[in-house]
Amino acid sequence: MVRTPAAVRDAERWTAHNYHPLPVVISSAEGAWLTDVDGRRYLDCLAGYSALNFGHRHPQLIAAAHAQLDRLTLTSRAFIHDQFADFCRELAELCGKELVLPMNTGAEAVETAIKVARKWGYQVKGVPAGQATIVVAEGNFHGRTTTIVSFSTDTDARDDFGPYTPGFRIVPYGDLAALEAAIDDTTVAVLIEPIQGEQGVVVPPEGYLPGVRRVCTERNVLFVADEIQSGLGRTGETFACDHEGVTPDMYLLGKALGGGIVPVSAVVADADVLGVLRPGQHGSTFGGNPLACAVATEVVRLLATGEFQHRSAELGARLHESLRALIGQGLVAVRGRGLWAGIDIDPALMTGREACERLAERGVLAKDTHGSTIRLAPPLVVTAEELDHAVAQLAAVLAGAR
């Protein structure tokens, strides 16, 4: 009995239509593979938008979660728990920073950074009250809150959700002169993604990130790097900023930090920045809870071995080489770093959505982003053979349309 169509219908019947999922209904997963309600297997080439960098149900992460569930799950930050200090210390060390502020979702980490940057601006930089500005980039994706969509340039994300939060200046991504020109005495931060994931895995021109670092230092502005999707091994380094030897003032982390098990996000910075917050000024009921800390500590330990960054770099080179071979065969462009690729399909052939539907029929799950662009981001535990298989299925989908 094929259960998928009924299960798809049921899922659509009872939910707001703020997503347009592929018509697959998953019931279990392990490593890089998903299994649907009818027992069909799919190679996961999205990895939960990089929340599953270590694959589904990584044994070390599952063991940490099980052990913590049997001991303690929540205290709130009103009390200290025994998983808290190790998590904060180990994550701070991974980032080369002094302090950690844990939250839950990526959007909350971004909101936290905005609040911290503004308070830093008023208390340390001396910006006149209520005047703080933050420079952001066109094509950004930083989350879905009302403040964050206020500075989105994606009409779907932004339209009809106003009134919008003021205090943001939008400049073209990758244009250092425009960024510098947007900074004045009211500017407290530059908030950018070191690679724009949702925009289609857009890598800025070489020298841009070091340039942003230099300008921020010269103008006494905080460089806030949203590494929620690009960080934690995805690009072949711990952070996408590492490729150009750049250290931001604040790292924003999320997605993979929770090991694909629980939502965990964090702002990581030095004491001269995060130290502006005093008790009562910011918080979260679930932020830094024992289960989150237990899982995220193991995530940090996996990353501290360097194994996943290494895999991502090596396998990423293979992925990009085989994808580039499809340029002219139905692909028009390939971007990205490590096990992260944005590919543009010839729009005359099909949309990104259609390509993803055909890939799903061939047992490979990926997600389109804008128009004819697909993002490929398999878990970092994927093997070379599995990658070759995914690219072969893509080649077959393209060949079928030509």
Ligand X SMILES: *Cc1c(COP(=O)(O)O)cnc(C)c1O
Q: Which residues are catalytic?
A: 141, 226, 255
In angstroms, what is the minimal distance from the CB of 323 to ligand X? 21
Q: Please tell me whether the peptide bond between 172 and the residue prior to it is cis, using omega within 30 degrees of 0.
A: no
Residue nearest to ligand X (CB): 106
Distance CA 270, CA 268 (A): 7
Q: Which of 215, 102, 197, 222 is nearest to 142 (CA)?
A: 197
Q: Which of 237, 363, 201 is nearest to 309 (CA)?
A: 237
Nearer to ligand X, 20 or 278 (CB): 20
Task: Tell me the two tokens of residue 182.
Answer: 């947007």
Nearer to ligand X, 264 or 391 (CB): 264
In angstroms, what is the minimal distance from the CB of 195 to ligand X? 9
In angstroms, what is the minimal distance from the CB of 138 to ligand X? 14
Task: Tell me the two tokens of residue 224.
Answer: 């806030």
Nearer to ligand X, 147 or 393 (CB): 147
What's the number of CA atoms in the CB half-sphere (13 Å) around residue 131?
12
Nearer to ligand X, 106 or 330 (CB): 106
Q: Nearest 5 degrees, angle CA 399-CA 401-CA 402?
A: 65
In angstroms, what is the minimal distance from the CB of 198 to ligand X? 6
In angstroms, what is the minimal distance from the CB of 50 to ligand X? 7
* Helix pair angle (307-324, 290-304), 10° resolution: 70
What's the number of CA atoms in the CB half-sphere (13 Å) around residue 382?
37
In angstroms, what is the minimal distance from the CB of 95 to ligand X? 16
Chain contacts with ligand X (rule: CB under 6 A): 49, 105-107, 110, 141-143, 193, 197, 226, 228-229, 254-255
In angstroms, what is the minimal distance from the CB of 9 to ligand X? 27
CA distances from 238 to 94, 242, 298, 306 (A): 8, 7, 15, 8
Cβ proximity of 140 and 152 under 8 Å: yes
CA distances from 247 to 209, 250, 270, 286 (A): 9, 9, 12, 29
Nearer to ligand X, 105 or 152 (CB): 105
Nearer to ligand X, 198 or 386 (CB): 198
Nearer to ligand X, 110 or 391 (CB): 110
CA 101 to chain centre: 18
Cβ proximity of 56 and 260 under 8 Å: yes
